[in-house]
Amino acid sequence: MHATQPSDPLEDLLAGPSTSTTPSGDLALLGSVCAGCGARAFPARMTCHVCAGGRPAEAPVGSSGVLYSWTRVHVSATRDTPYALGYVDMDGAGDGGVRVLGLLDPVGAEWAVGDVVRVVATEGADDWSFTKDAR
């Protein structure tokens, strides 16, 4: 019988958020859920942020949500400006909803609190962002 080695905690932290594809073909974010208390988190955590329980399991966070708040950034030392960031209350996270911070695309769009957004693939340093859901 072959025993598996625990993953390197630093490697887990550097891996960053992951995504998957839903059966309908939408891109979805993957976070974690604690087996002990049921708390959900994004990105996935190594230890529960609520009860400090052991390693939470990977769990879907969702592929769409509602824009809770947003801002357009015009000064940055780490990326080209301007860019837009928003907090999104994700659908599909069950009763323990998750609020996710992410880039909003396109940058120049007129964003409003309450906009329905979805996760889309992007190129560059970030592999996903939120865009208005036109469906």
Q: Which two tokens stand for residue 61?
A: 């966070």
Mean per-residue pLDDT over the chain, rounded: 83
> Which segments of the chain are extended strands (E)?
18-21, 27-33, 40-41, 57-62, 64-73, 83-90, 99-104, 116-121, 128-132
Over residues 84-113, the pLDDT tens digits come to 999 999 986 555 689 999 999 998 899 999
* Residue 118, pLDDT above cutoff 60: yes
Higher pLDDT, 35 or 126: 35
What residues have CB less than 8 Å from 36, skipping those under 6 apart? 48, 51, 53, 54
Closest CA relative to residue 90, chosen from 26, 2, 35 = 26
Average pLDDT over residues 3-24: 59
Q: For the whole model, what pTM was predicted? A: 0.80
Cα angle 22, 58, 118 (rounded to 5 degrees) comes to 40
